[in-house]
């Protein structure tokens, strides 16, 4: 590994599925321990690290809406799921000796601090891992959009998306064994092809604000450090 990281401040988007390991739903302690170790290794490189976490391992608002639930109610339930995941990741980091700064996009009195940009920036400057739960705090927006938004707000140099596959494909490689993997993409191409790795709002935000994106396999130990060190063979880069 290079002694100097390529980036100083990054935002990492994690799906809720990253926390459930081999389970069909919920939380897996081994997965949380793995993620906490990877995040602390990044911190040890001198990286200022913010993390936006999804909630799909517990509840998805779109799935609830598809079954007849009110979409707004379903989205708020999904936001609460991201808070559960954020608290779980917080505890995994505390167990390894690091006290992160955990915030939520909407007020949950007595449990977690509400998101406030200046406080979040200070926590990064102090070397704390910043956990951002609650999505954008509003319905109809995904946690991918929340990740793009927070990365821009917090002056991050790059958005990293820790995925369950090793980059962006033209179709789902779990369903299509002949799916083509991209090494590099432009945002206009990703938007035109309607690639499913992120929603169009998130892609558009990144494109408008010239925020680069790398999608990579977070399950492989050491991949995060390789990406932070500038290894271009890991994942797919979008600029």
Q: What pLDDT score was predicted for residue 136?
A: 97
Residue-level pLDDT at 165: 84
Q: What is the pTM of this model?
A: 0.93
Average pLDDT over residues 170-187: 88
Nearest Cα residue to 94 out of 133, 157, 40, 57? 40
Domain ranges across the chain: 9-238
pLDDT of residue 201: 94
- Chain segment 85-131, per-residue pLDDT in tens: 999 999 999 999 999 999 999 999 999 999 999 999 999 999 999 99
Choosing among 1.10.10.10, 3.40.1160.10, 3.20.20.210, 2.60.40.720, the CATH entry for 9-238 is 3.40.1160.10
* Percent with pLDDT over 90 in the chain: 74
| Banded model confidence at residue 65, pLDDT cuts 50, 70, 90 | low
Q: What is the pLDDT of residues 204-223, one digit of tens each?
A: 999 999 999 999 999 899 99
Q: Is the pLDDT of residue 76 over 60?
A: yes
pLDDT surpasses 50 at 1: no
């Amino acid at each position: 590994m290079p002694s100097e990281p390529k980036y100083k401040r990054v935002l990492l988007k994690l799906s809720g599925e990253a926390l459930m390991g081999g389970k069909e739903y919920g939380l897996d302690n081994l997965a949380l321990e793995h993620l906490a170790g990877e995040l602390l290794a990044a911190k040890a490189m001198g990286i200022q690290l913010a993390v936006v976490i999804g909630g799909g391992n517990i509840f998805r608002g779109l799935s609830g809406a598809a079954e007849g639930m009110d979409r707004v109610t379903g989205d708020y339930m999904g936001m609460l799921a991201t808070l559960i995941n954020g608290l779980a990741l917080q505890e995994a980091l505390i167990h390894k000796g690091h006290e992160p700064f955990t915030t939520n996009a909407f007020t949950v009195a007595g449990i977690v601090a509400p998101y406030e940009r200046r406080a979040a920036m200070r926590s990064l400057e102090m070397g704390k891992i910043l956990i951002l739960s609650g999505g954008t705090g509003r319905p109809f927006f995904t946690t991918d959009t929340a990740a793009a938004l927070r990365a821009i707000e917090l002056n991050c140099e790059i958005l990293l998306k820790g995925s369950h596959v090793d980059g962006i494909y033209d179709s789902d490689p779990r369903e299509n064994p002949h799916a083509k993997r991209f090494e590099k993409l432009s945002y206009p191409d990703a938007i035109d092809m309607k690639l499913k790795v992120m929603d169009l709002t998130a892609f558009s935000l990144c494109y408008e604000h010239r925020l680069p994106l790398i999608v990579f396999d977070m399950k492989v130990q050491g991949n995060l450090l390789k990406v932070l060190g500038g290894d271009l063979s890991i994942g797919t880069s979008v600029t």
